[in-house]
Amino acid sequence: MKKHNNDGSGRSRFTAYDIARIGMMIAVLEVVKRILDSIPNVELVSFFIIIFTIYYGWKTMIAVYAFVGIEFLFWGFGIWSICYLYVWAILVALIMLARKKDSYILYCIISGVYGLAFGALCAITTIFIMGPAGALGWWIAGIPFDLIHGVSNFLVCLALFIPVRKVMEVVTRWEP
């Protein structure tokens, strides 16, 4: 795996190529989000955030927050808006930690567990709106969706990781 200029060494510079790459990441995240919007809790956003973080490190956060901003513009603001400000950042941070191991199965497990935990992570914001009992009830009511989210995240990563990684190896070979 090719390491880029944001490998945690402290040598992070921003280039015109980074800006173009981030624009492409944002476009991919938006397209894959829209493609599966009609299927509750089956999504490719988590998978692509994992892939982008593996290859582009912390610079993925810029694409993530631009994606979140576009989601706010597209869907408006609600309880979910607050959790979107931190849930995707948590995924990036987890993958940055896992990058040291660089294990395909570990990435699949993180993706699945992240999907299972998504509702619990979002319930944190509802504590301030509905109180602890309301947040717990909200989270419990969403467990069937979290199960779908976790299983589908794991299966998506299991099915797509190796072929997409091969494509990313070719793409990054030609990067400056």
Of the candidates 11, 102, 103, the one whose C-alpha atom is nearest the C-alpha of residue 59 is: 11
Residue with the bigger pLDDT between 129 and 165: it is: 165
Of the candidates 111, 66, 74, the one whose C-alpha atom is nearest the C-alpha of residue 90 is: 111
Terminal alpha carbon distance of the chain: 15
Indicate whether 2 belongs to any domain. Answer: no
pLDDT band at 63 (very low <50, low <70, confident <90, very high): very high
Number of domains the chain is built from? 1
pLDDT band at 12 (very low <50, low <70, confident <90, very high): low
Indicate whether 163 belongs to any domain. Answer: yes
pLDDT (mean) for 102-111 = 96
Quote the pLDDT of residue 2. Answer: 47
- Degrees to nearest 5, angle at CA 80 with 82 and 141: 130
Indicate whether 57 belongs to any domain. Answer: yes
Quote the pLDDT of residue 3. Answer: 46
Range of the structural domain that residue 61 is part of: 16-173
Dist CA 117 CA 126 (whole Å): 15
Per-residue pLDDT tens over the stretch 66-77? 999 999 999 999
Indicate whether 4 belongs to any domain. Answer: no
Dist CA 43 CA 124 (whole Å): 22
- Name the residue type at position 12: S
Indicate whether 3 belongs to any domain. Answer: no
Tokens of 91: 């995924």
Of the candidates 21, 34, 31, 26, the one whose C-alpha atom is nearest the C-alpha of residue 168 is: 21
Tokens of 62: 């810029």
Indicate whether 21 belongs to any domain. Answer: yes
* Contact between residue 139 and residue 123 where contact means Cβ atoms under 8 Å apart: yes
Of the candidates 123, 17, 19, the one whose C-alpha atom is nearest the C-alpha of residue 62 is: 19
pLDDT band at 29 (very low <50, low <70, confident <90, very high): very high
Burial class from Cβ neighbours inside 10 Å (0-12, 13-18, 19+) for residue 176 reads exposed
